Amino acid sequence: MLLSAEEIEEQLKKLNMIIPVRYYDAIGSTNSAAKLVHDETDKHYLVVAGRQTQGRGRNGRSFQSEFGGGYFSFTFSLGAEDVTTQLCGSVMLAVLAVRSVMEEYGVDCSIKWPNDVLCGGRKLCGILSEVVYDRDFPDYMVIGIGINVNNPLTGIEDIATSTLIETGRKLPVAEVVARIVRRFFEMLSDKDFEVMTEYRKCCATLGKNVRVTSPDEEFYGVAEDLDEKGMLVVRTQSGQRRVVSCGDVSIRDVLS
Ligand code: BTN
């Protein structure tokens, strides 16, 4: 069934949250649309799509977005901290928000650094965060979340899962989206919330053997820890300590 802006706003209102919503049955990418809407209105919107025709993932990958899933993006102002720290921190918050809401629906998830939410080793949700610059200055942030809810997983059944598969029942997409957005902003405004501590607790990548690939090189090592910005600290096979930024590498677990 198709969603509507009114239905999503209604769900947000139930959670005491007011944020304007734009809904599209189909759009290229909600991240791109959220930027356009923000630049047109100078307001922070929640942009939701029934499906995306050009869903974007990290590192230039595409993100399959068929009807039945939750595809949404929202913008918010940057604080005074260093931009990379805010970028990594907001991805971590988004991942934790998804995980926490999934728990409410009885879906147990782990995190693959930096931005994947997994169930039983298969991907349930991906997150794409982007900083938008005004001339040379960081202006605001876009967080885009794609979660497999009731949608088919055409050709990606081996590597992806959905809440439908995990629970055997259809979940209300508008409610799922509203709860995740609400939880994100709740965590963001809670000054006592220890993002890094909470993230470490459920990050399945830590302690694992990983392969790090970037356009320039590839190396193997053990994912030892996260640094103060949320970058992954990898001890390579030759004993070197390498700090891996979330922007430019992909991590593959090579042994569990
Ligand atoms: C990834 O897994 O690499 C990140 C996937 C992020 C997908 C979401 S769906 C909503 C938003 N719009 C996009 O085009 N991408 C994000």
pLDDT digit string, tens, across residues 30-82: 999 999 999 999 999 999 999 999 999 988 899 999 999 999 999 999 988 88
Q: Are 91 and 144 in contact (CB under 8 A)?
A: no
83-104 and 173-189 are packed helices; what angle lies between their axes, rounded to 10 degrees? Answer: 130
C-alpha 140 – ligand 1 centre gap (Å)? 18
C-alpha 61 – ligand 1 centre gap (Å)? 9
Is 113's pLDDT higher than 80?
yes
- Cβ neighbours, 10 Å, residue 4: 15
- Count of residues making up the chain: 256
Q: Report residue 218's pLDDT band, with 50, 70 and 90 as the boundaries.
A: confident
The reported pLDDT for the residue numbered 41 is 96
C-alpha 237 – ligand 1 centre gap (Å)? 33
Is 254's pLDDT higher than 70?
no
Structure tokens, 44? 């922070």
- Residue among 63, 87, 249 whose CB has most ligand 1 atoms within 8 A, to mutate: 63
Segment 205-220 shows an average pLDDT of 86
